[in-house]
A and B are shown apart, each in its own frame.
Chain A
């Protein structure tokens, strides 16, 4: 199974300041079809997960442009350009390149 490792586990942030989360996979996430199926999800307190970013850097419908994704191969990053209060929650990376799909352990973003 592909192991997804997120850092940091917890990220105290200041409103209006940037935040960054890293995700590293135990093997390359490049699929044989040429795509890299690395996704980012947000889970606010008491809420289900919500898709933010798919295939490394594509923002899903309705996701604010302060969220951006980057990376390649085994190293990926989610950035929040200016943290807002509604961004508090746990962020997960998810690889869908290979079965079984696997999630990172989560990064808690708190003010």
Chain B
């Protein structure tokens, strides 16, 4: 069974940092691009960024709204991807999903983890 499990969400003050994890199983993680997507409460989906596989030099790309503040990384030995989030603002409050898969990069989705930025 394919699983993507996000963790690390929680309440953080504006200007703070948080690191999310995405643990994968049931598919060949190392062959997969991993994306992060977020969804504010009652709103639509927003792409955050992605990291490619080793053969593509672990290339990353980010949305303009997070570039320079967020960093995506991965540890293929642990089948885990990460989203390091710095300089958080209230606008970053959302459920954060990781998604991956060798076919399209968005084959499988986790259940999400809630990040709340508030004082």
Q: Do A and B interact with each other, yes or no?
A: yes
CB-contacts of B47-87 with A (<8 A):
47, 50, 61-64
Give the residues in chain B near A48, CB-CB below 8 Å.
97, 109-112
Interface residues on A, range: 20 to 34
Give the residues in chain A near B107, CB-CB below 8 Å.
51, 60-61
Interface of chain A, main secondary structure: loop
Shortest C-beta distance, A98 to chain B (Å), equals 11
Task: Give the number of chain B interface residues (Cβ < 8 Å).
Answer: 24
| Docked pose: A96 CA to B99 CA in angstroms | 13
Shortest C-beta distance, B39 to chain A (Å), equals 8
Give the residues in chain A near B91, CB-CB below 8 Å.
none
| Docked pose: A25 CA to B50 CA in angstroms | 22
CB of A49 within 8 Å of the partner chain: yes
